[in-house]
Structure formats: C-alpha cells, structure tokens
Amino acid sequence: MRRLSVWLLVVFSLITVIQVFGTVFLLFDYSDLNTPAILTRVCVFLLIAFCMNAFLAYVISVRMREPLRNIARRINSFPGGRSLYIQRSTYSEALQLTRELDDFLRRISTDLNDLRLEKELLAELLEGLREGVLCINKNGLIVYQNSAVHAGLVEKNMNGRPYFAAIRNSKLLEYVHQIFGEKFENNLDTNRSRNADPDTNRLRNVDSGNRPGGEIAFGNIELTQSGRSFRVSAYPVLMGGDPELYLLLISDQTQQITTQRLREDFLQNASHELKTPITSIRGYAETMLFRESRPQPRGFLEGIIRNVERMERIIEDMVMISSLESRSFPFHPEDVPIKKFMTNIRKLVSGSLKQKFQNLEIELPDEDLSLRADPLLLEHLLLNLIVNASRYSPEETAIRVQLEREPGRIVFSIADSGPGIPSDLRTKIFERFFRVDKDRSRSQGGTGLGLSIVRQISRLHGGRVWVEANPAGGSVFRVSLPL
C-alpha cells in the first residue's frame, strides 16, 4: 500500500512538472528564464504544485488503501475464521470489486461445503465397501486406502508414503510397478528382496483387459496371501487426458472359490453316484426290451431307456458347464484348419440329421483359414448349435452353416427353420434350463444346458454368441471368435 502512495506522488509530480515547464516555454521566451524574478516564481509554483500533488496523492491512496487492505484480509482469512467487514469505498471501481468479491466468496463457500459433504460421503462409502480400495497418485504416493485392504498385501495407514514402501506382496508390487513403468526401478529392486515370499505369494492367472466404456484398463491378477485368494483390478483416473490417479480394487475371492470348489465336488460326486444306478436301470431295461415282444410293455421299456439317456446327458452337461465356469476344464488351443474341421463336423451330425431327412449346408470363405481354438470345445460348440437347430426345425429342411471373415475374427452363423425366438427372450435362452416352450422342449428331449455351454465355450475363447431372427423364418445363432 505504501508503494501505491509513492507511485501516485511520483506520477502526479511528473505530470505537474511537465505542465509547468510546458506553460513557461509557451508563454515566455527562453531568454526570460534568466531573469531572477521569473525563475523564482517558477520554482515557487513548482513547490506549491508538488505539495498539492503530494497531499492529493496521499488522500487518494488512503481512500483506496483501506478497502484494498480489508479485501486482502478477507481473502487471506477465507475460508476459516469469521467474515470481516469490508469498508465501502466511494470509488465505483473499488465498490464493484467489493461486491464481486462478496459474491465470489459466497459461491466458493457453497462449493466448498458441497465438496466437503461429498468427500465425507465418499469416504463413508469407500469404508463400507467389502472390497479393498487403494488409490495411488501419478507420483507413486498412496493418497487413500480403506480398512478392507488386507494387511498382508498393503501395510495400514500408509497415506502419503510411496507404494513400494507400503505394498508387502511381491506379485502386487510387480503389478503396480508395471503400471508405472520404469519410474521407480531402483526403489523396486530394493524392496523386492524384502517383500519376496514365494510360498504365500502365488500368482494364479493373469487376464488382459480393454479400456473403453468403463472396462478394466489394466490386466487383472489373482493372487493368494496368508491362505486367502484375492483379485486385483486397476483403473486410471484421467484429468485432461492424462492419468492423475490409479485406483486399485482388491476383492477377496476366498469364499467364492471355496463355494465353487464345493459345488464342483458336489457335482462330481453326485454325477458319479448317479451314473451307477442309471447304468443299472439302463441295463435292466435293455435286457427286458430284448426279451419282450408285447407292444405295450415294449413301449414302457423304450420310454425308460429314453429318459435314462436324457438323464445321462443332463449329468454330463452339468459337469461340463461347471468345469467351464471354474476354468478347470482342460483347455488346449491349437491352429484348427477350418475346411478340414467343418468336414469332420458334417460327418458327426449326419446321423442326427438323417433321422429327420434334413440336410446340412456349409458355406466357407474362399481363403484357407485357421482358427486358434481348442478343437474339442469348438466341436462341442458347433455340434450343440447344429443339433439344436435340427431339433426345432421341421423334417426335410436344411440347416445352414455359414462362415464369414471379419477383421481379426471369424463368425459362425447357424440358421434353422424353426418357430423362431421372441425378441425379449433372445438373451435369456443362454441361461441354464431356460425354455422358450417347455412342453415342446421336453418332447424334443433337450437338456436345457446346451446353449449355456455354447456361451461358456465362446467366452473361454474370447468370443461371444447371440441370436437373431432369420428373414426366411426361424433363428440364426452367431458365434464370433478371434482368429
């Protein structure tokens, strides 16, 4: 504020000097300035003008200084402390500045209160989550961790500390380090030996993820620590297109894995225990059928055999879909030649199609393609779809299988001539035991698990399956698989 008074004084004085000397040079000759009387008058006038300017500069600076000081104190005390009284100025500009400052501070105060409330709410929500939440900024410092983060993975109360000093699990440390790149290589080498524990830190599998639309931005890892299983996913928080934070979600999968194992054991044991009496019933029924010649008893025995076969298929399908969902089914992908593979498929389904005098039409691309897939699972997928199309199509019709090449993918299309599927049920038919027409499905002898198996095999290969309406009548099942 003192600088303001000095500058006003200097500016006013310079202006006065310029005005006085300009007036003198215009009214008098240069030779007149040598006269002592005139020179004395000029000096006295300059002194009076200087004093008047000094006084005027002081008055103006004082009237402007106090409101500006109050404004500065008000800004420095915001948001803490009580609101200060701002002296109103007679200058319109200072008065306008004061009003705009009042309005601005009120809006800022409201926004801060809202942000404070949202922060508290977010903290409560994150603390209430069953999943562990670990937030690391772009500099590698931990800015937040909730209480659900297992102490064997990350040390507690490490906010503000580098991630390599807080993470105790070596696999999780390597995973986070891959996200940050080589920025903290030296620190990682120092801490890797301290945190290494091969007996408890076992990496189970790594899934690669894609980013668009809220999907996983980095790969997921599943690891074990202290006898518990965890799944870790990482998401970047972008600001201006660049990652500002990295959010790690750590979910405890121990209960799910235990439940899954119990379900698998139950299915395995139940299927084993059921196969023995079912095999006996089948043997007795076939023996009696061979010896029975009367039409009515033979019909009963044939019905028993049909239902026994259906029970066997249901048991096999339940065991298979459970194995596919738990990723315990043997998966051995290899390069499968498409033309040779489809020739074998034609031979396998010929017997089923002949019973209804149906024909299988296969359209292949002109180029020789090879698909990276498990041949047994791919065979099971196509057999399920073709047999399903044959089951619901009338006799003496054609089942059309078409293969289309897309960028990096191949699409199998299986078209039937059946009754079709309503649009609102086209996603539900891939659920277990779901039936569009239960009476017809029972008469056709399906298990209700075939399409669920098809969906799981498609996902296992990184593809997807869906159904569309056939313009010629019926439905078209499409399976898209990466080449």
**pLDDT tens figures, 1-43:** 455 556 655 666 666 666 666 665 555 555 555 566 666 766 7
**Does a structural domain hold residue 107?**
no
Residue 232 contacts residue 223 (beta carbons within 8 Å): yes
pLDDT in tens, 388-400: 888 888 888 888 9
pLDDT band at 88 (very low <50, low <70, confident <90, very high): low
**Mean confidence (pLDDT) of the chain:** 76
Please indicate, yes or no, whether residues 314 and 426 belong to a single structural domain of this protein: no
The model's pLDDT over 280-331, given as tens digits with 9 standing for 90+, comes to 888 888 888 888 888 888 888 888 888 888 888 888 877 787 777 777 778 8
Print the domain residue range for 357: 334-482
Task: Give how many domains the chain has, as a whole number.
Answer: 4
Partners of residue 145 on adjacent β-strands: 134
From 302, 325, 348, give the residue that closes a domain: 325
Whether residue 443 is contained in a domain is answered as: yes
pLDDT at 442 over 70: no
- If asked whether residues 267 and 301 sit together in one domain, one would say yes
Q: What residue has token string 């034609």?
A: 346
Angle in degrees, 0-180, between the axes of helices 185-195 and 170-180, rounded to the nearest 10? 170
Tell me, yes or no, whether 71 and 180 share the same domain: no
Whether 294 is covered by a domain: the verdict is: yes
Please tell me whether residues 288 and 361 are part of one structural domain: no
pLDDT at position 171 is: 87
Residues 31 and 152 in one domain: no
Please say which residue of 220, 252, 284 terminates a domain: 252
For 475, phi then psi, to 5°, come to -135, 160
pLDDT of 188 strictly over 80: no
Output the domain CATH number for residue 371. 3.30.565.10
- Residues 18, 85 within the same domain: yes
451: pLDDT strictly greater than 50? yes
- What's the pLDDT band for 440 if we cut at 50, 70, 90? low
**Quick check: is 320 in a domain?**
yes
Residue 444 covered by a domain: yes
| Stated pTM of the model | 0.53
Same domain, 417 and 307: no
Residues 477 and 342 in one domain: yes
118 within a domain of the structure (yes/no): no
Whether residues 193 and 291 share a domain: the answer is: no
Residue 245 clears pLDDT 70, i.e. is over it: yes
Residue 194 amino acid letter: R
- How large is the average pLDDT for residues 124-146? 83
Quick check: helix, strand or coil at residue 185?
helix
pLDDT at 190 over 80: no
Is the per-residue pLDDT at 378 higher than 70?
A: yes
Q: Mean of the pLDDT values across residues 264-286?
A: 82
| Higher-confidence position of 214 and 447 | 447
User: Does some domain include residue 116?
Assistant: no
Q: How many other C-beta atoms are found inside a 10 Å radius of the C-beta of residue 7?
A: 12
In a domain, 104, yes or no: no
**Same-domain pairing of 320 and 460:** no
Same domain (yes/no): 84, 135: no
Question: What is the model's pLDDT at position 39?
Answer: 65
Q: Which of 203, 220, 252 is the last residue of a domain?
A: 252
Q: Is the CB of residue 465 less than 8 Å from the CB of residue 444?
A: no
Phi/psi at 22 (nearest 5 deg)? -65, -40
**Nearest residue to 455 (alpha-carbon basis) of 482, 435, 474, 427:** 427
Q: At what angle do helices 338-354 and 375-392 cross, to 10 degrees?
A: 40
276 and 234 share a domain? no
The more confidently predicted of residues 447 and 384 is 384
Q: How many CB atoms lie within 10 A of CB 208?
A: 9
